[in-house]
């Protein structure tokens, strides 16, 4: 029994310490009209929730923010959130990244800010207003539990800190 537990811990540590850092890209959606005009884009299959049917999402190829713009990542455990349903991953940007985030959200109201991690769309929230705080909260059923949220942050090369609401 002890050998099995130790083996699992070692396997977990090996996969964490030795895995390649994933890339995160913040990109914008492209309308059908913009795509027809030739704006370079990729097509991803994306479902807002895991139990919904995926649809095509047109995403501009231009990367607006990436790992290099991130200062740190925090996780609020599901039990510490208002809904207690999913954990919240908060990405805090460096000052230059925060300025880029504010500009891009100010000039792209009603578009979606798409988070692409290693060529997979993780979230695509609609931009409703400029983000002036220098941070974004990600709440998605992709992080079905606290461990998945922590693993996401670690996969991006960050050791998350835990916050409470």
DSSP letter (8 states) at residue 29? B
- Domain ranges, ordered by start, for the chain: 21-28+63-162
Q: What is the pLDDT of residue 2?
A: 41
Radius of gyration of the chain (CA): 17
Which of the four CATH numbers 3.90.25.10, 3.90.76.10, 3.60.20.10, 3.30.1360.200 does domain 21-28+63-162 have? 3.30.1360.200
Which parts of the chain have pLDDT scores under 70?
A: 1-19, 83-84, 165
Q: Is the dihedral of CA 70, 72, 77, 82 positive or negative?
A: negative
Strands 24-28, 55-60: parallel, antiparallel or unpaired by DSSP? Answer: unpaired
End-to-end distance of the chain based on CA atoms, in angstroms? 38
pLDDT at residue 145 in the model: 80
pLDDT per position as a tens digit, 62-96: 999 999 999 999 998 877 777 667 788 999 999 99
Specify whether the CB–CB gap between 112 and 140 falls below 8 A.
no
């Amino acid at each position: 029994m002890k050998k099995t537990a130790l083996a699992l811990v070692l396997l977990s540590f090996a996969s964490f310490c030795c895995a390649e850092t994933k890339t995160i890209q913040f990109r914008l959606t492209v309308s059908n009209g913009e795509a027809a005009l030739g704006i370079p884009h990729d097509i991803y299959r994306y479902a807002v929730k895991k139990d919904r049917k995926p649809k095509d999402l047109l995403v501009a190829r231009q990367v607006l923010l990436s790992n290099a713009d991130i200062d740190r990542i925090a996780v609020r455990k599901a039990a510490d959130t208002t809904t207690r349903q999913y954990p919240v991953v908060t990405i805090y940007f460096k000052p230059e990244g925060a300025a880029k985030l504010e500009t891009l959200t100010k000039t792209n109201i009603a578009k979606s800010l798409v988070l692409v991690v290693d060529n997979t769309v993780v979230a695509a929230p609609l931009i409703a207003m400029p983000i002036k705080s220098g941070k974004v909260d990600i709440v998605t059923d992709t992080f079905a539990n606290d461990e998945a949220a922590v693993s996401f942050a670690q996969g991006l090369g960050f050791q998350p800190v835990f916050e409470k609401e």
